[in-house]
Amino acid sequence: MRGWPPPRTCSRLGSARSTPAAALSPSAEPSSNGTSRPWTGRSRLGRAPRTPDTRTVVVDLDADATADADAIVADTDGEAGPDAGPGADTAAAEGIEVELEVSYLVPTAGWRAGYDARLDGERVTLTWFALIAQRSGEDWPATADLVLSTARPAAHAELPELIPQFVDLRQPPPPPLPAAAPAVMATAGAMPLGRGRAKAKGVKVARAGEPEIDFAGAATYRPPRRAAVPADGGRHRVTVAVIEFDAALDHLTVPRTLPDAYLRATVTNTSPHTLLPGKVSIFHGGDFAGSGTIGMVPPGAEVELHLGVDHRVRVERELVRRATGRRVGGSNRRVEAAYRVEVTNHTPRPIRAVVRDQIPVSRHESVTVRDFQARPEPDERTDVGLLSWTLELGPGATGRVEFSFRLEHPRGTELTGWRD
């Protein structure tokens, strides 16, 4: 269905008791635009529907030795055989109890991943939960064995292929055609304009309220605690796993933009689970710190959690020197600038602070950036002028970063893209 990727599937296991003559008719409710979103499910079989199911059901029964084998009638059209008496089906139904496990596909059921991350000291407790929504027409009770799967039964397994990429020169557009006179009458067989628009809109826009499910590889998960999931289409939260990780904490500051220090926690996924993409709510102790998203995190990969501004770390950035002048023996104008950044740790424990700043980069041959100096030397300097330092600060300590550069450009010209 356009705009609606195939869902992760939910499986509900159960048993059913019936007779050999019972008709099996799984309920499959299509979506509003005529397509369906399959999910794998198993459910307790109810009583036979009013409309008989003419499909063949083959059951292998281990009947008691005393049971008459001729009483078991396997009929494919739902009618008794010609040699059976008027009470044959009734006798068979009353004399034999059959336990069946039924598997079938129904539409409009799926789930998505969500997380709560709580930082306590240098440990992060990650609560992974599933938001389940289903409109199968059958409420799933809390006694059902719920299994979550990331498989997509309807997805094809074809490998991607590349097609030739032909490059050519752009041709001038053809001259516009003369304007045609407006039609007074619609041609025979033409679709009315209003209907055509309504149909196109229905193809592009997914039905409101349907779950938006992302696919993340084939895996199955069985929630540790069972929960009821009614067929109301709403999202119902079920905990999948609770995982604890060691966290590497640091503070990031970009004082050119804002004089704040942001606390970060970098976590390595040491669990056997592949964490699926989803939204995460982040808590620092008992306080809500913010929310964000995480992508696919396989075992061994890292994920970064942002815990908000730490006001106990003070950051100051100051322009300590700015001088303009004329280059001796030339006609260029020269601008010299020097900056100082100070970071003070007011927390009761040592911290690691990452300071990021920048210098301008020329995009014109007559504009140059010269004589860059820094103390201490930056840990990283990129081709686009980004600078990074890492400071180790004890409780009450202050770290300092200083850097300067000279910018030259022709006199009488105005620079763009740079400010103090």
The 10s digit of each residue's pLDDT in 297-312 is 999 999 999 888 999 9
Segment 218-274, tens digit of pLDDT: 678 888 888 899 989 899 999 999 999 999 999 999 999 999 999 999 999 999 888
Q: Is the peptide bond before 376 cis (omega within 30 degrees of 0)?
A: yes
Give the integer Cα–Cα distance in Å for 189 and 279: 50
Strands 220-221 and 103-106: unpaired
Going by C-beta distance under 8 Å and a sequence separation of 6 or more, which residues neighbour residue 297?
269, 274, 275, 303
Please name the amino acid found at residue 358.
Q
Q: DSSP code of 140?
A: B
Choice among 14-28, 102-116, 158-172, 228-242 with the minimum mean pLDDT: 14-28
Query: Considering only CA atoms, which of 258, 262, 332, 270 is closest in space to residue 297?
Result: 270
Q: What class, spelled out in words, does domain 313-410 have in CATH?
A: mainly beta
* pTM, full prediction: 0.59
Dmax over CA atoms of the chain, in Å, equals 120
Classify 48 as helix, strand or coil: coil
Distant-in-sequence, close-in-space partners of 100: CB < 8 Å, separation ≥ 6:
15, 16, 17, 18, 24, 45, 59
Question: What are the angstrom distances between the C-alpha of 277 and each of 213, 214, 316, 319?
Answer: 10, 8, 37, 43
Amino acid at 238: V
